[in-house]
Amino acid sequence: MIRKMISWRYTSFYKNKYQTFYLLYFFKVIKPAYILVFQQYTLLKYGGPDGELGASMRYISQRYSMPYREVSGLLTDIGTEELGHFEMISTMVHQLTRNLSMEQIKGTPFEAYYVDHTAAVWPQAAGGIPFNACEFQSKGDAITDITEDMAAEQKARTTYDNLIRLSKDDPDVLDPLRFLREREIVHFQRFGEALSIIQSKLDSNNYYFYNPEFDKNCSCKK
């Protein structure tokens, strides 16, 4: 077995400080059939409906109209971190496919992808559907957006659960997937806290009486 080491570095913005995380992952050269099948599923977290690209675009887009600074900062923080996760998934896909031969590609799920993209990394779902902006929403309503964000993190966690089940025989692939899954759980918890912050600033008798992102003359607390 040949082992390849990748050093990951990504930056996350939180409370006006940059934090750098270094992750060391090891990938084995394993059976080509497994590599190609797993590559196809890993693309789901790259450009699929619950993938990292859509997550980063969702949160960074929502931050601009969010009227509460602490929640806007959280969206910036998590959106930036998701870009780091996007890079991690991209590198995983590249590592799994970069040295394949035509003999290994023919007759596998990767063959159709190869026709359009060779071995380049391109955002699409596991089923081959290209990424598009309709896979996320920026609604301009604080409660609506944060509730969607919480659901998005749970769907992302479930997708990682499924990938972990598919890769349970390869511990070198499991480590980064488990790390990413854990971060989705943390994000869900943070968005839950953000929803509580938003509700504390609204009318407790009717959280939907006005939209704090649009109704400028409301009596909402800043």
pLDDT at 180 over 50: yes
Residue 177: inside a domain:
yes
Q: Which residues pair with 14 in a beta bridge?
A: 17
Residue 18: inside a domain:
no
So what's the pLDDT on residue 176?
87
Q: Is there a contact between 98 and 121 (Cβ–Cβ < 8 Å)?
A: no
Number of domains in the chain: 1
φ/ψ region of 6 (left if φ > 0, alpha if ψ in -120 to 50, else beta) reads: beta
Lowest mean pLDDT among 1-5, 54-58, 146-150, 208-212: 1-5
3-state DSSP of the chain: CCEEEEEEEEEEEECCEEEEEEEEEEEECCCHHHHHHHHHHHHHHHHCCCCHHHHHHHHHHHCCCCCCHHHHHHHHHHHHHHHHHHHHHHHHHHHHHCCCCHHHHCCCCHHHHHHHHCCCCCCECCCCCECCHHHCCCCCCHHHHHHHHHHHHHHHHHHHHHHHHHCCCCHHHHHHHHHHHHHHHHHHHHHHHHHHHHHHCCCCCCCCCCCCCCCCCCCCCC
Q: Is there a contact between 103 and 28 (Cβ–Cβ < 8 Å)?
A: no
Mean pLDDT of the chain: 76
Residue 148: inside a domain:
yes
44: amino acid identity, one letter: L
For 210, the token pair is 């006005």
Position 111 confidence tier, pLDDT thresholds 50, 70, 90? confident
pLDDT above 90: percentage of residues in the chain: 34
CATH of the domain at 63: 1.20.1260.10
Residue with tokens 């918890």: 189
So what's the pLDDT on residue 62?
96
pLDDT at 11 over 70: no
- In degrees and rounded to multiples of 5, residue 107 shows phi and psi of 80, 10
For 221, the token pair is 């607390």
Structural domain span for residue 141: 38-200
Residue 119: inside a domain:
yes
Q: pLDDT tens digit string along 112-169?
A: 888 888 888 877 777 777 777 777 889 999 999 999 999 999 999 998 898 888 876 7
So what's the pLDDT on residue 117?
81
Residue 208: inside a domain:
no
For 185, the token pair is 């759980």
Residue 104: inside a domain:
yes
Lowest mean pLDDT among 16-25, 168-177, 190-199: 16-25
CA-based Rg of the chain, rounded to a whole angstrom?
A: 20
Q: Is there a contact between 135 and 124 (Cβ–Cβ < 8 Å)?
A: no
